[in-house]
Amino acid sequence: MSKIYNVGIIGGGISGIVTALQLEKNGVDSILFEQGPSVVNGPPFCHLHAGGNLYPDISDEQCRQLMKQSIEMARLFPLSIDKRPTFISIPKAENFQVRNLENRLEMLVNYYHKLIDEDSSNEILGSPKDYYKTYTIEDLRVLEKRPIVKHPKLSDEWMSNALKLIDYEKLKTPVFIVQEYGWNLFRVGAQGKLALTKAEHCNLKLNTKVTHIKDVRDEGLQYNWEINTHDSVYKVKYLVNSCGFRTGKIDESLHLNTQHMIEFKAAYVSKWHTISGLIPELIFHGERCTSHGMAQLTPYSGDYYQIHGMTKDITLFNNGLIESKSNEKETEFNESIMQKLNDNWSQDEIKTRTKKAIEFIAKFVPSFKSATVGGPPLYGAQQIPGVDPGLRVGEACFPSKFYARSEIVKASSALTVANQIICKMQKEENLPSFKISPKQNVLLESISKNDIDNMAAKLAVERGYPEAMSRLLIDRNK
């Protein structure tokens, strides 16, 4: 008889790989199916949302969850975290109130203290007293005159470098430097792939698309599901759907359709020769989906800069956010978006949208006008469970016995979701009892920095991006 796996995971994005790695850590066997040639090759991520400060309109509770989950993920993948801070500002023309940002930052400092009291290893964002720093207009005028610092360490040094470039007269004050870091997806993919290849209990099937699933729960067998690929059938006791924006497709085949949204977005890669010192990520808040949505400039190694502009002609797209209702057929993106999802961007559109993105940032960073197209966009689609497009924290959901669906919206929720799934499996007595610990994973830790560097560079190049984008701005030895 062919092998029966305890767990079958469909989808090798961050959610699927973290679930497989958590199972591996606890000695539970699994099989992981990924239709692409490598793992973590879906929608991009660049920002560790350790506090949710990119979202002025989400609840304090979502901010706390994002901080907690981000810290857990940073402890799992430390060599993919770029420890450069984020500059946060509100343009004078926007309605958002600086006071609200400040109150929330204070709340986050208290919460960060609490997380450190619970476990001192949670102190990965530096000392709580340095989590954020506030700068008045007078402070900015003084710092602007300071010399450039090539490798800034203190918030003031990051701020004074940024001020060489930003037209701060357009911004409300105070502005902030916050310890929200960068997160390199090529490095997460590299570490995940290398770890899973070494795993004793996980069978990683790359280039393997799941075509359909047969529900055999009522047939009195030793397993509950048959996972079908184009040439084989795999037997599993527990099924985990980690298909990202395609989770609805698997649900549909199981007649378990739910209310959810899917959203297609893109960020643009530019090349820019600027001051000799490093700069923080730059955020200029704005009302999403209007012509003055948030502008985000994310520095990468090698003079590459990634741009998000939350308007319909930059990061967002007409009909880019669509809804599927429960018990109805899964909604599909239109043809133009499907073409892009299938790697079929026209060169013209890459150029036009990247140029618009450059102009958008140049409103606040005038010298950014000289930036050029630096590579293909980083793009993809993500799911948003339910009906609130502002939801940022995802969870696991259990629509049926022996079946879990991962519903992450931000990559930072992956470990929380994996642990929720494992807890549920234990409750249903599918797994022996063991204590789930959010601490680092020995298998992940066994992957050397050198191996991550090499594999991340290979993945970046294979996917058509500059190799430099696989490196951190601030190199880390451990």
Ligand X SMILES: Cc1cc2nc3c(=O)[nH]c(=O)nc-3n(C[C@H](O)[C@H](O)[C@H](O)COP(=O)(O)OP(=O)(O)OC[C@H]3O[C@@H](n4cnc5c(N)ncnc54)[C@H](O)[C@@H]3O)c2cc1C
Shortest Cβ 411–ligand X spacing (Å): 3
Q: CB nearer to ligand X: give 64 or 410.
A: 410
Token pair listed for 298: 């994310």
Task: Find out whether 80 and 188 touch, Cβ atoms under 8 Å.
Answer: yes
Using alpha carbons, list the distances in angstroms from residue 128 to 375, 379, 412: 37, 34, 20
Nearer CB in complex with ligand X: 46/365: 46
CA–CA gap between residue 60 and residue 77 (Å, rounded):
26
CB-nearer residue toward ligand X: 47 or 64:
47
- Binding string to ligand X for residues 194 to 213, with x set by CB under 6 A, is what? ---------------xx---
Q: Which of 8, 13, 192, 293: binder of ligand X (CB under 6 A)?
A: 13
Task: Establish if 49 lies at the interface with ligand X (CB under 6 A).
Answer: yes
Q: Please give the C-alpha separations between residue 228 and each of 126, 217, 222, 462, in angstroms, as whole numbers.
A: 47, 16, 17, 28
Confirm or reject binding of residue 159 to ligand X (CB under 6 A). Answer: no
Q: List, in sequence order, every residue forming a beta bridge with 81; answer none if it has no partner.
A: 183
**CA separation for the pair 145, 218 (Å, rounded):** 73
Q: Which of 41, 62, 65, 80 binds ligand X (CB under 6 A)?
A: 41
CB of 204 vs ligand X, minimal distance in Å: 12
| Residue 164 is a binding residue for ligand X (CB under 6 A) | no
For ligand X, the closer of residues 268 and 272 by Cβ is 268
Burial tier of 421 (Cβ tally within 10 Å: 0-12, 13-18, 19+): buried
* Amino acid identity for residue 221 in this structure: L
* Sites for ligand X among residues 210-239 (CB under 6 A): 210
Give me the least distance between CB of 145 and ligand X, in Å please: 33
Nearer of residues 149 and 321 to ligand X, judged by Cβ: 321
Q: Could you say which of 7, 9, 10, 460 contacts ligand X (CB under 6 A)?
A: 10
User: Minimum CB separation from ligand X for residue 242, in Å?
Assistant: 5
Q: Cα separation of 221 and 19, whole Å?
A: 25
Q: 185 vs 199, which CB is nearer to ligand X? A: 185
Q: How far apart are CA 272 and CA 462, in angstroms?
A: 23
Exactly one of 19, 155, 242, 416 binds ligand X (CB under 6 A); that residue is 242
CA distances from 176 to 61, 134, 166, 169, 475 (A): 21, 5, 13, 15, 24
Minimum distance of ligand X from residue 90's CB (angstroms): 20
Q: Rounded to the nearest whole angstrom, what is the least distance from the CB of residue 454 to ligand X in the complex? A: 22
Can you spell out the DSSP letters for 445-478? HTS-HHHHHHHHHHHHHHTTS-GGGGS-SS----
Q: Is the peptide bond before 174 cis (omega within 30 degrees of 0)?
A: yes
Q: Which of 5, 7, 16, 84 binds ligand X (CB under 6 A)?
A: 16
Q: Is 305 in the site for ligand X (CB under 6 A)?
A: no
- Does residue 189 touch ligand X according to CB under 6 A? no
How many CB atoms within 10 Å of residue 133? 20
Determine which residue in the list 8, 12, 189, 192 makes contact with ligand X, applying CB under 6 A: 12
For residue 353, how far is the Cα from the chain centroid? 22
**Is residue 113 within 8 Å of 148, Cβ to Cβ?**
no
Q: What is the Cα 83 distance to its own chain's centre? A: 16
- Cα dihedral value 385, 387, 392, 393, nearest 10: -50
Q: How far is the CB of 210 from ligand X (least distance, A)?
A: 4
Among 164, 103, 93, which Cα is nearest to 134's?
103
Residue 45 binds ligand X (CB under 6 A): yes
Cβ–Cβ < 8 Å for 247, 407? yes
Nearer to ligand X, 90 or 185 (CB): 185
Asked whether 402 and 430 are in contact (CB, 8 A), the reply is: yes
Six token digits for residue 28: 């539970």
Write down the least CB distance from residue 75 to ligand X, Å: 15
Q: Please list every residue from 260 through 289 that binds ligand X, using CB under 6 A.
A: 265-267
Question: Does residue 380 interact with ligand X by CB under 6 A?
Answer: yes
Q: How far apart are CA 186 and CA 40, in angstroms?
A: 8
Q: Which residue lies nearer to ligand X by CB, 14 or 140?
A: 14
Q: Of 404-423, which residues contact ligand X (CB under 6 A)? A: 406, 408-412
35 binds ligand X (CB under 6 A): yes
Q: How many chain residues interact with ligand X (CB under 6 A)?
A: 38
Stretch that binds ligand X, among 89-97, 109-117, 323-331, 403-411 (CB under 6 A): 403-411
Q: Work out whether 11 is an interface residue with ligand X (CB under 6 A).
A: yes
H-type helices in 34-118, by residue range?
60-76, 98-118
CB of 278 or CB of 418, closer to ligand X:
418
The residue among 36 and 277 lying less far from ligand X, judged by its C-beta, is 36
187 binds ligand X (CB under 6 A): no
φ, ψ dihedrals at 420, nearest 5°:
-65, -40
Is 47 a binder of ligand X (CB under 6 A)?
Answer: yes
Residues that bind ligand X (CB under 6 A): 10-16, 33-36, 41-47, 49, 209-210, 242-246, 265-267, 379-380, 382, 406, 408-412
